[in-house]
Amino acid sequence: MSAANDTGAPCWPHGMQSCVALAFDLDGPTGDALLDGSIWRNPAYFTLGAYGPWRALGYLLDLLDEYSMPTTFFVPAWVIEHWPVQCRAIIERGHEVGYHGDRHEAFWRLDRQQQRAVMARSRMLFQRHLGVTPVGFRTPSGDWGPDTVEVLLDAGVEYSSSMRGDDRPYFIDSPASARRLVEIPGRWELDDYATLAYHRQPNFPIGLDRSASYETTFDNWRREFAGCHRDGLCMTTIFHPKVSGKPGRILLLQRLLQYMREQPGVWFATGSQVARWWTSGHATVGAEA
């Protein structure tokens, strides 16, 4: 791995002070329960996930329109296949879509050929239903195997937003070729699952709330942004429509977007815009876009 700018704050287009690459993972009901088939014995769990593409996505797109906030949605191909109309609205309303597996597979558990098959099926479904070929990827499992970088590059992926190791973009070099990916790292503090997701099982922490107060959550997110903006860094979120796209939580997101919009010098961009800026070399010389 190598950084484009190892010292000092990065440079952003038009002299902007910091960067926000807002991102949502539109997982729907994909994941382990779908992969092992147990979800079909639990209709309530299926509908909990389906709420994301079926209902929450529309709420979020309306909010993003209100604040003119470009956003990247990382979407499992299975979700696109089953909610194509809702997913097309992402493109129609000016946002970016990126790969997120097919059924939210753990890539580190898949060998090279299995990963290739997931990417090929994803590409086919994105083209069939949305008419686009994504250039971004977020690993569904939060990690990947030794073959993944090469598999992604072969699939035409230009950037990943999967790792946690920095607060600015950096390059991930392929061990098998001279090619490289841009990594736009996120962090768990900006994952809405960490504070807002509610689970009946396992039933812990016993005696404590299993979701944080909205005031605490907003304060955490606001402080994360404030630190990134002060230091001229790049902030990426790991939000999920089925978690934070509900009516009460939409108000929480609205407060965050309003707060960020009020700060001068923030470049709001999609993942591909950030990656191409970083790759162009502008990030190291401070040239204007």
The secondary structure of 180-219 as a DSSP string is EEEE----GGGBTHHHH---SSS--STTS-SS--HHHHHH
Cβ(288)–Cβ(13) below 8 Å: yes
∠ CA 97-84-154, rounded to 5°: 45
pLDDT of 175 reads 80
Instruction: Count the domains in the chain.
Output: 1
pLDDT of 244 reads 95
Q: Does residue 157 lie in a domain region?
A: yes
Question: Which CATH number fits the domain that encloses residue 107?
Answer: 3.20.20.370
Q: Does residue 289 lie in a domain region?
A: no
Q: Does residue 205 lie in a domain region?
A: no
Please state the pTM of the whole predicted model. 0.93
Element (H, E) at 250: helix 247-262
Cβ(24)–Cβ(240) below 8 Å: yes
* Cis before 76? omega within 30: no
Alpha carbon distance 12, 23 (integer Å): 19
In Å, how far are 32, 58, 137, 213 from 52, measured between CA atoms? 17, 9, 19, 21
- DSSP 8-state secondary structure symbol assigned to residue 238: B
* Domain that residue 278 falls in: 13-199+210-282
pLDDT digits 0-9 by tens, 132-183:
999 999 999 889 999 999 999 999 999 999 998 899 999 999 988 889 999 9
Alpha carbon distance 51, 193 (integer Å): 15
Q: Does residue 8 lie in a domain region?
A: no
Q: Does residue 5 lie in a domain region?
A: no
pLDDT of 142 reads 85
Cβ(60)–Cβ(241) below 8 Å: yes
Q: Does residue 55 lie in a domain region?
A: yes
pLDDT of 9 reads 77
Cβ(160)–Cβ(143) below 8 Å: no
∠ CA 212-218-222, rounded to 5°: 140
| Distance in angstroms between the alpha carbons of the first and the last residue of the chain | 26
Cβ(9)–Cβ(232) below 8 Å: yes
- Please give the order of strands across the beta sheet that includes 234-236: 234-236, 18-21, 266-268
Cβ(23)–Cβ(244) below 8 Å: no
Averages of pLDDT over runs of 10 residues in the chain (289 residues) are 57 95 97 92 91 97 97 98 98 98 96 97 98 98 92 97 93 90 93 83 58 92 97 96 95 97 98 96 52
133 contact partners, CB below 8 Å, separation of at least 6? 123, 126, 127, 156
Q: Does residue 119 lie in a domain region?
A: yes
Q: Does residue 175 lie in a domain region?
A: yes
pLDDT of 250 reads 96
pLDDT digits 0-9 by tens, 29-43:
999 999 999 999 989
pLDDT of 258 reads 98
